[in-house]
Amino acid sequence: MEKSRKEKYIGRRMPRRDALVKAQGRAKYTADYRTADMLWGKAVFSGMAHARILRVDAAKAEALPGVVCVMTAKDLPAAKKYGIFCADKPVIAENMILYEGDPIAFIAAETKEIAEEAAALIEAEYEALPVVEDPREALRDDVPPIHENHPVTGNAKVMAEVTLDRGDVDAAFAEADIILEDDFETPQIEHVYLEPDCCIARWVDDTDVLEIVAPQQAVYSTLRALAPVFGLPESRVRFISPYVGGGFGGKEDSCCDLAVIAGLLAMKTRRKVYSEFTAEEVFRYTGKRHGSYVHHRMAATKDGRVIGLDIDIILDKGAYQSMSGLTGGPHAVAQRTVLYAAGPYSVENVRIRSRAVFTNHPYGAAMRGFGAPQIHFAGESQMNELAHRLNMDPVAIRKLNMITPERPTSFGQVLTEENGLGLEECMDKVKAELDKPFMPKHPVRPSQRRGMGLAAYIYGTGMPYKSEGAMCVVHVNRDASVEVGISTTEMGQGAQTVMAQIAAEALGVPVETVNVPLPDTFLSPDSGPTVASRSTTFVGNAILDACRKLLAGFTEAVAHGVGCSPEEVTYAKGVFAAPDGQEIPLRRAIYMAATQAIPQSAVGIWYPPVDIGFGPKGGNSMHTYSFGCQGIDLLLDVETGEIELLRSVLACDIGHALNPQLVEGQMEGGAVMGLGYALTEGVEYKKGVVSNDSMKDYVILGFKDLPQMTSIIVEAANCMGPFGAKGVGEPPLVATAPAVREAIRNASDGVKLNRIPFTPERVITGIYKAKEGGQTS
């Protein structure tokens, strides 16, 4: 957007403030805080995915010299289960193993080696139970429920069921010219953050406080989830999150899995304890993106209008609740799949049901996109199919159906230009870019066919809960330098940078003088979790609110000092101007405030004006939505199924790019992650036990695989966002997989692949099946 703006820092490309220290190796991550006197805390696992525990005997392990303590389920001091939304995950399994990551004991030893030796000495007997891997199978009557006594759902197989039923779906299908019906499947995938989970805990003896340092995305969620496990009030547990080496949603939960180990062992031994998961353990024990099975029916008219949707979504919940949502609320991933089931289109008649079903897999957790990638794979694939059926341009058919101020969302929310509606521009720009001539730099084999495809998305900023809002404290020192107190994690996305830009802009101070400390529950106010593409918008607005309050106070101080009314005082670029021509620099104004009982700290708060009516009546679930379009250009080898990516063109409507450099970072990283989801990734199991538990076997894309990447920023301002911003963290990967599917379809004369990842094996099998006449999946 080539608008001339009056802002000094907003909209500017500013390097990340953590970039230099990270490049120089000076940035400290949790493991860097280890010291020699720490005990090694280790959890012991059964190696099974479903079993009844008959006996656990720790006597030999306890007797091993160097072992300081061993805990089994009977040694737990307080709550025996935990979880972010509901406490259903055993701290230490007592009777049942429901997935591979259920620990049977914790060990604290003087060294890692002793801890490992002790782990091998734990004796346990199990009765192996049949492992349930497929949630569709789990629903069958002859398969017993996974949970016998779940704290929320009892012995139900479905953790969360969310439905949306609006209009008259049966009538729509009855009068439709075209009905498309198909099944789509996406796997569980791992976040593959580079920093494996780890944790340092210590009992602070002189203040009776448990202090825990760990990479976390949501220090206050961890605090609320775990204080009951330690049997302490939240005020006596201190969670600190240093720099985080990537989270992607996973470090909302996984930090809890580590903090219970180190925390309980530190309380019991009164020593410092360090605990970590190896990369392999992260693959095996921590949460995954929910796998999905979608049955999708679409009703349309012959001129390309989608008039009805009938969709049944089954999510692989894994063993515990985590982020699936609870029936009745708080809703989470299951709800988002419903919310985004119609995509960025206005469809009047919808019947959508999403169920998160327990299996013996690792728990389905939050992961970048939170349900949207799964449902967009089905929905956008179907939209492309409709375009093919009608011989329509994929952009034209989308424009015909998209949400406009006159055409509300499927759940009844009316979005106006004020909310930022940038989809059309995104699609036009992607199409224009894809239409530009582009030749691969190397010779193309005769068996390689070119194909292009695109897909669009919608993604809300923030969470549709009543408690969704942000709080912060902005404090101005006497020298006019600023501290921004928030609990937003810095995990590489640039939160510290953009928050400093916002505060500096609002207060008219140099950005270098703004400090944004890392989260610490003893010092930072609760600005909410670092999730849901919410931070810049929600926390940014809270910071603006605090800055406004501070300036109002200082203006009052100045007015009182010079003897005029506050309305007569103006403020710009660090200087207050009084009507008599006097200029009072901010520093003096702060001193004046300090002498007049006017605070130099302000609590800022922002809650979006949403009225969550999620149901037949409809309602506005999120205050704004990001839109975007992903274009893919690839070569498909029709003899081997290999895919060579040529171009990825991604346009994201993000309201306003407060720092385009950071936005592009999110867009490129997101597109790469989306391409991995489409082409290579997926957790594989043998009897519920993860079999591709390393970077060697779990294939994410490497630089050699990446196409030329174009990131197009579209700015349809969100009138409620700080300087017009909306979220960009997750959206960039939401539409990648269906765009890749479409490009493959076009390169292969119509081979339809409905199951990601599109490995060479799946692609070539699909091509041969299509040749033999049958359709594929």
CB atoms within 10 A of CB 440: 15
What does the alpha-carbon distance between residue 245 and residue 32 come to, in Å, rounded to a whole number? 12
How far apart CA 122 and CA 93 sit, in angstroms, is 14
DSSP 8-state secondary structure symbol assigned to residue 768: H
Nearer Cβ to another protein (179/701)? 701
Find, among 349, 339, 401, 397, the residue nearest to 371 by Cα: 339
| Nearest CB to another protein, comparing residues 116 and 161 | 116
CB closer to another protein, 485 vs 676: 676
Closest distance of CB 480 from another protein, Å: 49
To another protein, the closest distance from the beta carbon of 767 in angstroms equals: 8
Which one of the spans 82-90, 360-368, 535-543, 759-767 is the region binding another protein (CB under 8 A)? 759-767
- Residue 111 found at the interface with another protein (CB under 8 A): no
For residue 45, the minimal CB distance to another protein (Å) is 14
Query: For residues 631 and 639, what is the distance between their CA atoms, to the nearest angstrom?
Result: 24
**Phi, psi of 651, deg, nearest 5:** -115, 125
Tokens 């007592």 correspond to what residue? 94
Q: Which stretch binds another protein (CB under 8 A): 1-9, 164-172, 326-334, 760-768?
A: 760-768
C-alpha 649/C-alpha 422 separation (Å) is 16
SS3 364: strand
Residue from 31, 73, 152, 701 binding another protein (CB under 8 A): 701
Kindly list the distances between the CA atom of residue 137 and the CA atoms of 133, 310, 462, 549, 776, in Å, as whole numbers in the listed order: 8, 21, 34, 57, 21
765 counts as binding another protein under rule CB under 8 A: yes
User: Is the Cβ of residue 700 or residue 709 nearer to another protein in the bound state?
Assistant: 700
Nearer to another protein, 116 or 234 (CB): 116
Quick one: 389 or 450, whose CB is closer to another protein?
Answer: 450
In whole angstroms, the minimum distance from the beta carbon of 200 to another protein comes to: 24
Q: Are 185 and 199 spatial neighbours (Cβ–Cβ below 8 Å)?
A: no
Question: In this chain, which stretch among 417-425, 506-514, 742-750, 761-769 interacts with another protein, using CB under 8 A?
Answer: 761-769
With respect to another protein, which residue has the nearer C-beta, 448 or 659? 448
Q: How far is the CB of 708 from another protein (least distance, A)?
A: 15
In angstroms, what is the minimal distance from the CB of 41 to another protein? 18
Least distance CB 280 / another protein (angstroms): 8
**64-103 footprint of another protein as x/- string (CB under 8 A):** ----------------------------------------
Q: Which of 73, 483, 760, 776 binds another protein (CB under 8 A)?
A: 760
How many residues are listed for the chain in this entry? Answer: 777
**Helix 394-401 with 423-435: angle, nearest 10 deg:** 180
Q: Which is nearer to another protein, 522 or 768 (CB)?
A: 768
Residue selected from 705, 709, 776, 777 as contacting another protein according to rule CB under 8 A? 705
Of the candidates 629, 594, 593, 624, the residue with the CA atom closest to the CA atom of residue 610? 624
Burial 325-351 (b: 16+ CB within 10 A, else e): bbbebbbbbbbbbbbbbbbbbbbbbbb
Question: How big is the chain by its Cα radius of gyration, in Å?
Answer: 27
Residues 372-401 that bind another protein (CB under 8 A): none
Closer CB to another protein, 665 or 760, in the complex: 760
Contact between 87 and 230 (Cβ < 8 Å): no
Q: Does 113 bind another protein (CB under 8 A)?
A: yes
756 in Cβ contact with 187 (< 8 Å) = yes
Distance in Å, CB of 146 to another protein, minimum: 28
For another protein, the binding residues in 439-498 under the rule CB under 8 A are 445, 447
751: tokens are 């081979």
Chain Cα centroid distance, residue 724: 22
Candidate residues 117, 483, 520, 668; the one interacting with another protein per rule CB under 8 A: 117
Q: Where are the beta strands (DSSP E) in 320-409?
A: 349-358, 364-365
Beta bridge partners of 599: none
Window of 137-145, 292-300, 622-630, 757-765 that interacts with another protein by CB under 8 A: 757-765
Answer yes or no whether residue 62 interacts with another protein by CB under 8 A: no
Name the residue nearer to another protein (CB basis): 317 or 752.
752
Q: Strand pairing partners for 310?
A: 297, 351
Q: Which residues 642-671 are close enough to bind another protein by CB under 8 A? A: 642
| Least separation in angstroms between CB 237 and another protein | 34
Q: Is residue 605 a contact residue for another protein (CB under 8 A)?
A: no
Nearer to another protein, 115 or 547 (CB): 115
Backbone angles phi, psi at 150, to 5 degrees: -75, 140
Judged by CB under 8 A, which stretch of 560-568, 615-623, 713-721, 762-770 contacts another protein? 762-770
Please, what is the minimum distance in Å from the beta carbon of residue 116 to another protein?
A: 6
Name residue 357's beta-bridge partners: 158, 316
> Exactly one of 27, 562, 603, 699 binds another protein (CB under 8 A); which one?
699
Given CA atoms 101, 103, 106, 112 in this order, what sign does their dihedral have? Answer: negative
Name residue 435's beta-bridge partners: none
Q: Which of 2, 436, 704, 773 binds another protein (CB under 8 A)?
A: 704
How far is residue 751's CA from residue 171's CA, in Å, rounded to a whole number? 31
From the list 72-80, 545-553, 589-597, 695-703, the region that binds another protein by CB under 8 A is 695-703
Query: What DSSP assignment string belongs to 181-215?
Result: EEEEEE--B----SS--EEEEEEETTTTEEEEE--
646 in helix, strand or coil?
Answer: strand
Cα–Cα distance, 722 to 148 (Å, whole number)? 48
Enumerate residues 628-647 that contact another protein by CB under 8 A: 637, 639-642
The minimum distance between CB 701 and another protein, in angstroms, equals: 6
Q: Which is nearer to another protein, 633 or 637 (CB)?
A: 637
Tally the C-alpha atoms within 13 A of residue 85's C-alpha that lie toward its C-beta. 22
- What is the contact mask toward another protein in residues 134 to 173, using x (rule: CB under 8 A)? ----------------------------------------
**Per-position DSSP letters for 545-580, written without gaps between them:** HHHHHHHHHHHHHHHHHHTS-GGG-EEETTEEE-TT
Structure tokens at 62: 């306890």
| Tokens standing for residue 247 | 């989270």
Decide: is 110 part of the binding site for another protein (CB under 8 A).
Answer: no
- The residue within the footprint of another protein, chosen from 142, 581, 696, 772 (CB under 8 A), is 696
Is there a contact between 505 and 544 (Cβ–Cβ < 8 Å)? no
Report the alpha-carbon distance of residue 263 to residue 231 in Å, rounded.
Answer: 11
707 binds another protein (CB under 8 A): no
- Minimum gap (Å) between residue 680 Cβ and another protein: 5
Work out how close the CB of 705 gets to another protein at its nearest, in angstroms, rounded to a whole number.
5
Euclidean distance between the first and the last CA atom of the chain, given in angstroms as a whole number: 42
Q: Which of 171, 175, 194, 768 binds another protein (CB under 8 A)?
A: 768
222 vs 448, which CB is nearer to another protein?
448
Whichever of 617 and 704 has its CB closer to another protein, that residue is: 704
> Which of residues 680 and 736 has its CB atom nearest to another protein in the complex?
680
Q: Which stretch binds another protein (CB under 8 A): 382-390, 485-493, 592-600, 692-700?
A: 692-700
CA-to-CA distance for 50 and 133, rounded, in angstroms?
10
CB 657 within 8 A of CB 674: no
Interface with another protein (CB under 8 A): 113, 116-117, 120, 445, 447, 637, 639-642, 679-680, 696, 699-702, 704-705, 759-761, 764-765, 768
